[in-house]
């Protein structure tokens, strides 16, 4: 990745991009670099390379795609929060599930924006956050407020009962990945993944692994239409 662009102009805000789709990354980079007050100081396609590059390039801002293809999305967010408490992070996502947004915000994200939104919104969000605010789409804000008012979490999404890690595993299963593969992608032991699977099965009242796979795949397919 191109982590070698160093800022000569001290006034520009250095933005770091993390997304596993090169197309999105480069597109966003071209877009941001056109702004007079912003510049992209580096990119990464995964958690490990991101951490390394961020340590080197010391950005003022991070845009992070939390999407399912990048296994460590939430995890990386938490790590960043722990290592750089003051580094603002804007989450980019293709899902508008409040489950994700909620988790992301709880994990310390400063904003959450969907890829469906207009590109300018990204700039708006960045500037909002740089001023110390939190950025959320109107729709999402509304939804979250409703959830807040309504008390507990909406029972309509049983996935909300899953912990962050469990949800990640669930998604990967839905994408057709095997236990071993998931363990590698998440950098944990297969035993750990097995535990997650067991917990998921319990929380979703599934009998066996096959049903789990079925459930996960079906839900991953349903997302495209919803």
Partner DNA sequence: AATTGCCATAGGGAATTCCCCGATGCGCTA
Partner DNA sequence: TAGCGCATCGGGGAATTCCCTATGGCAATT
Q: Which of 85, 120, 152, 210 binds DNA (CB under 7 A)?
A: 210
Which of these segments, 36-44, 51-59, 136-144, 157-165, binds DNA (CB under 7 A)? 157-165
Binders of a copy of itself among residues 179 to 218 (CB under 8 A) are: 208, 210-211, 213-214, 217-218
Phi, psi values for residue 86, rounded to 5°: -105, 5
Instruction: Tell me whether residue 55 or residue 158 sits nearer to a copy of itself (CB atom).
Output: 158
Contact string 30-69 vs DNA (x = CB under 7 A): ----------------------------------------
Which of these segments, 90-98, 115-123, 182-190, 214-222, binds DNA (CB under 7 A)? 182-190
Residue 33 structure tokens = 């670099």
Rounded CA separation 100/167 (Å): 9
- Give the burial string for 121-152 (b: 16+ CB within 10 Å, else e): ebbebbebbbeeeebbbeebeebbeeeeeeee
Q: Which of 14, 128, 143, 165 binds DNA (CB under 7 A)?
A: 165
Nearest to 172 by CA among 197, 195, 208: 197
Residue 145's binding partner, choosing from DNA, a copy of itself, none, with beta-carbon cut-off 5 to 8 A by kind? none
Helix, strand, coil share (%) of the chain residues, nearest 5: 55, 15, 35
Contact call for residues 38 and 126 (beta carbons, < 8 A):
yes
Instruction: Tell me whether residue 84 or residue 220 sits nearer to a copy of itself (CB atom).
Output: 220
Min dist CB 179 to DNA, Å, is: 3
Q: Which of 26, 124, 147, 195 binds a copy of itself (CB under 8 A)?
A: 26
Adjacent-strand bridge partners of 43: 17
Binding of residue 119 to a copy of itself (CB under 8 A): yes
CB atoms within 10 A of CB 99: 18
Which of these segments, 37-45, 55-63, 84-92, 191-199, binds DNA (CB under 7 A)? 191-199
Rounded CA separation 14/5 (Å): 10
Q: Which residues bind DNA (CB under 7 A)?
A: 75, 163-166, 178-181, 186, 188-192, 194-199, 201, 207-210, 212
């Amino acid at each position: 990745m191109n982590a070698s662009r160093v800022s000569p102009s001290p006034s520009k805000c250095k933005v770091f991009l993390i997304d596993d789709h090169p197309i999105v990354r480069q597109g966003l980079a071209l877009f941001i670099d056109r702004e007079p007050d912003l510049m992209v100081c580096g990119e990464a396609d995964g958690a490990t390379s991101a951490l390394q590059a961020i340590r080197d390039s010391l950005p003022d801002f991070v845009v992070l795609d939390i999407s399912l293809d990048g296994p460590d999305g939430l995890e990386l967010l938490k790590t960043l929060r722990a290592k750089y408490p003051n580094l603002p992070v804007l989450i980019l996502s293709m899902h508008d599930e409040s489950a994700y947004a909620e988790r992301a915000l709880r994990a310390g994200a400063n904003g959450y924006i969907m890829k469906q939104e207009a590109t300018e919104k990204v700039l708006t969000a960045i500037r909002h956050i740089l001023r110390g605010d939190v950025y959320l789409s109107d729709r999402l804000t509304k939804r979250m407020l409703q959830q807040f008012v309504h008390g507990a979490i909406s029972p309509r999404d049983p996935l909300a009962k899953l912990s962050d890690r469990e949800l990640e595993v669930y998604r990967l299963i839905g994408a057709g990945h095997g236990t071993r593969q998931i363990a590698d992608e998440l950098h944990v032991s297969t035993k750990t993944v097995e535990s997650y699977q067991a917990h998921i099965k319990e929380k979703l009242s599934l009998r066996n692994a096959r049903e789990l796979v079925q459930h996960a795949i079906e839900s991953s397919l349903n997302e495209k239409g919803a």
